[in-house]
Amino acid sequence: MIDASLIQDLASQLRRLGVERLEIGVSDCVAHLRLPLHTAAGAAPAHNPAPAAAPAVTVRSEGLGLLRLSHDAQLTQAIQPGDKVEHGQLLALLELEDTLTPVLAPQAGTIDRVLGQDGQLADYGMALFTFASPPATASTAVEEQAAGARAAPPQARAAAASASQTHTILSPMSGTFYRAARPGADALVSVGSRVEIGTPLCVLEAMKMLNELPAEHAGSVAQILCENGQLIEAGQPLFVLALEETRGVS
Predicted confidence (pLDDT) per residue in 19-52, tens digit: 666 666 655 665 565 655 444 444 445 555 555 5
Give the total number of structural domains in the chain: 3
Q: Do the Cβ atoms of 132 and 85 come closer than 8 Å?
A: no
Task: Give the span between the Cα atoms of 171 and 211, in whole angstroms.
Answer: 11
DSSP label at 74?
T
Question: Region 208-218: what's the mean pLDDT?
Answer: 90
Question: Region 66-95: what's the mean pLDDT?
Answer: 89
By residue count, the chain amounts to: 250
Give me the pLDDT at residue 42, please: 46
pLDDT tier at 205, thresholds 50, 70, 90: very high
Give me the pLDDT at residue 224, please: 94
Mean pLDDT of all residues belonging to the chain: 77
Among residues 190, 171, 167, 188, which one has the least CA distance to residue 244? 167
Among residues 238, 239, 236, which one has the least CA distance to residue 90? 236
Give me the pLDDT at residue 248, please: 46
Give me the pLDDT at residue 35, please: 55
247: domain CATH number is 2.40.50.100
Considering the domain architecture, whether residues 184 and 237 belong to the same structural domain is answered as yes
The answer as to whether 39 is a domain residue is no
User: Measured between alpha carbons, how far is residue 73 from residues 6, 59, 126, 176, 232 in Å?
Assistant: 89, 23, 25, 12, 9
Considering the domain architecture, whether residues 16 and 59 belong to the same structural domain is answered as no
The answer as to whether 143 is a domain residue is no
The answer as to whether 106 is a domain residue is yes
User: Would the pLDDT of 136 be above 80?
Assistant: no
Output b/e per residue, 203-232; b: 16+ Cβ within 10 A.
bbeeeeeeeebebbbebebeebbbeeeeeb
Q: Is 249 helix (H, G, I), strand (E, B) or coil?
A: coil
Give me the pLDDT at residue 131, please: 92
User: Measured between alpha carbons, how far is residue 100 from residues 50, 51, 116 in Å?
Assistant: 44, 41, 16
| Residue-number span of the structural domain to which 25 is assigned | 4-34
Considering the domain architecture, whether residues 28 and 60 belong to the same structural domain is answered as no
Q: Do the Cβ atoms of 85 and 105 come closer than 8 Å?
A: yes
User: Would the pLDDT of 163 be above 50?
Assistant: no
The tens digit of pLDDT for each residue in 46-64 reads 555 555 555 678 999 888 8
User: Would the pLDDT of 185 be above 60?
Assistant: yes
For 55, phi then psi, to 5°, come to -65, 150
Considering the domain architecture, whether residues 246 and 158 belong to the same structural domain is answered as yes
DSSP label at 57?
P
For 158-222, the DSSP string reads HHHHHHH-EEEEEPSS-EEEESBSSTTSPBS--TT-EE-TT-EEEEEEETTEEEEEE-SSSEEEE
Question: Region 146-172: what's the mean pLDDT?
Answer: 63
pLDDT tier at 222, thresholds 50, 70, 90: very high
Last residue of a domain, one of 135, 162, 195: 135
Give me the pLDDT at residue 111, please: 94
Considering the domain architecture, whether residues 118 and 72 belong to the same structural domain is answered as yes
Give me the pLDDT at residue 51, please: 57
Considering the domain architecture, whether residues 18 and 79 belong to the same structural domain is answered as no
% of the chain exceeding 90 in pLDDT: 38
User: How many Å from the N-terminal Cα to the C-terminal Cα in the chain?
Assistant: 81
Question: Region 144-173: what's the mean pLDDT?
Answer: 63
For 109, phi then psi, to 5°, come to 165, -165
Question: Region 81-103: what's the mean pLDDT?
Answer: 89
